[in-house]
Structure 1
Amino acid sequence: MTSQSLTTPTADQLRRAPKVLLHDHLDGGLRPGTVVDLARDGGYAGLPETDPARLGTWFREAADSGSLERYLETFAHTCAVMQTRDALFRVAAECAEDLAEDGVVYAEVRYAPEQHLEAGLTLNEVVDAVNEGFREGERRARANGHRIRVGALLTAMRHAARSLEIAELANAHRDAGVVGFDIAGAEAGFPPTRHLDAFEYLKRENNHFTIHAGEAFGLPSIWQALQWCGADRLGHGVRIIDDIGIADDGTVTLGRLAAYVRDKRVPLEMCPTSNLQTGAATSYAEHPIGLLRRLHFRATVNTDNRLMSGTTLSREFAHLTEAFGYTLDDVQWFTVNAMKSAFIPFDERLAMINDVIKPGFAALRSAWLFGSTGPTSGSPAQDA
């Protein structure tokens, strides 16, 4: 073990580390300036601010309400400006660029095609525009010395009734950039069991899906997502902590659901800053991810909505390293967890771990030991 393994990584090291992101919403990651541009070009007059800096602040403050429902209201503005092919292409391309600039080498970015039909696009046209935008963003990233691979997750809204249609859409595009399916939206009153036909279809097609569960709602949401629906991953899953008891002497006891989640290695797509904003956690230091990491759950670190949370994946790791004293070894552990849990073929996941992630972290440790600035995320050690 190197000295760097025992040292809290710097912000620059966290940015250059080859990271993996599984839970990021396309309509929650726009650049504020892009929102302003698209609103002006599309004639949308509903923005609360037209100055990009002030608009970015407004999104963050509006999302800091402590309510998931209030948090979700902020998306009315971003979705409003994402209704044309050109807008979707631009937002997707910039998303890939921004993630690559932050050192992300693999990302799964989700969005709900049904929310982008107001200007006459079809569902297939929406998916094609976003996929083309991701490919363009990957090309721009390579031109800037970075490498990233982006897969799309198609999301159905849990309060609507189009989940089977969106699942079929995801399956139709699974060889053209779409890697899986998701349901999202307010949990309370809209259990995942309302969408069993979509999940049964995906299982018959041997396709992958994740479910937002255990964020604003508790253990029943997680139980249904796993035992009724068969989810491959849990979006957030932070309320699994409700099934873990800690005695006065520090003894930890797992309930049957928590034990099942750990034993089955169910990936948890945890989003610390977002959880603070929606009231699912009270502080970074009190976030359940600290205990879940100690107990060796399959925890991963994610951004959720970079615009609303004013965050990047590097910043999420910075908050956790400050709260829990994490080292590069811990960051690598979370990153490998995420790559193991991605919705791409096993051999491709293994190649990313062995050829990109582990060499990238080794290079950062070597750079620290020998006092050099080390590789950038576009160096051979981190090329995806």
Structure 2
Amino acid sequence: MTSSARTASGGVARLAAWRFIMVFGVVSMLMDVVYEGARSVTGPLLAGLGASGLVVGVVTGVGEAAALGFRLVSGPLADRSGRFWTWTIAGYLVTAAVVPLTGLPGVLWATALLVIGERVGKAVRSPAKDTLVSHAATVTGRGKGFAIHEALDQIGALLGPLLVAAMLAVTGDNYAPALGVLAIPGAASVALVVWLSRRVPDPVRYEADPPAGSPATASDHLTPPGSLPRAYWIYAGFTAATMVGFATFGLLSFHLVREHVMPTAVIPVAYAGAMGADALAALATGWLYDRIGPWTLVALPVLAAVSPVLAFTAAPWSAVTGILLWGAAVGIQESTLRATVADLVPPGRRATAYGVYAAILGAATFLGGVLTGWLYDTSPTLLVLVVAGVQVCALLLLLATRPAGLSRSAR
């Protein structure tokens, strides 16, 4: 009997590692229907309330910073308390409660606060959730485990925008019912994650005694309990650089509306396509990561640099292509980047590592949101040039740190 079929007491577990990842993927899929459905119309929603490009950039940048920065608190608290399921469930509850209300206020500041509130819910749950998934991914392969979870997650990210688009088409661009209907998948996600927590109360047992031949890493026994390894900090610097030069979909969709590139009801469909590209990129890079390691990440700054060149145009097909490339970049960010963190840090410090890592990315994302919003109001062409320059610097930083060296540190 493998360790993935044992509990803390030595009995038979009720879910094997792959099944745990699959069920957790369904939980994330349902919640992605909720918050990605809402995010697909953030730009048009704010624009309809009188927001400028700078305001959209600031709101979405602050939202992403909150989603990442608050993890600096939630990650260490999850590690210290050991209550990973409590933090995970609480975060899902916040998102499920906030999103259906976002279309109601009709006032810019109130809507902006709800948009940011949804991101706070993600911050509450993410370090604990990623840690829970990382334990099972020790058995399945870190790249593949996180990739499968992300692919399932992105099915929801595809369905959510399509549901919102259909509701907008039926209700005549009325955001209240379009976002209110998202309460249904939100409730289902919370119910399923509570069920999963009862079926597998202690997922760390997947990692406690991995079966022979599993992809468990040696780093779990090499890092002092109170520290984070040097390779981790180098890696965090590279990923922060990529986020400084990364436009949010809120700004992309704002451009589509302002320049009349496509009708408002079609924008969630374009976002759904981006989420499909996200899932495919996650699967591809997850598979590559388990074979060639962090060299896979070279694709991220390349995609992040090319996507705005195509997206910030007046040609619909060029904009759609740019959005798909943007989605592929997000797929790498949401799967392979997290797999690398799990390989660099041992279990006892992993939620803290995810929290610190997210805080660094949160600061970078806020800076990137403000920068790209200001550049867009100044000149979309200047935005494209500056983003490309930042991503070139990020690529050079990655090459200078020798990804193979990071791989050896992790493996």
TM-score of the superposition, structure 2-length normalised? 0.23
Instruction: Using CA pairs under 8 Å that are at least 6 residues apart, name the structure with larger relative contact order, 1 or 2.
Output: 2
Q: Which has the higher strand share?
A: 1
Q: Which has the higher helix share?
A: 2
TM-score of the superposition, structure 1-length normalised? 0.24
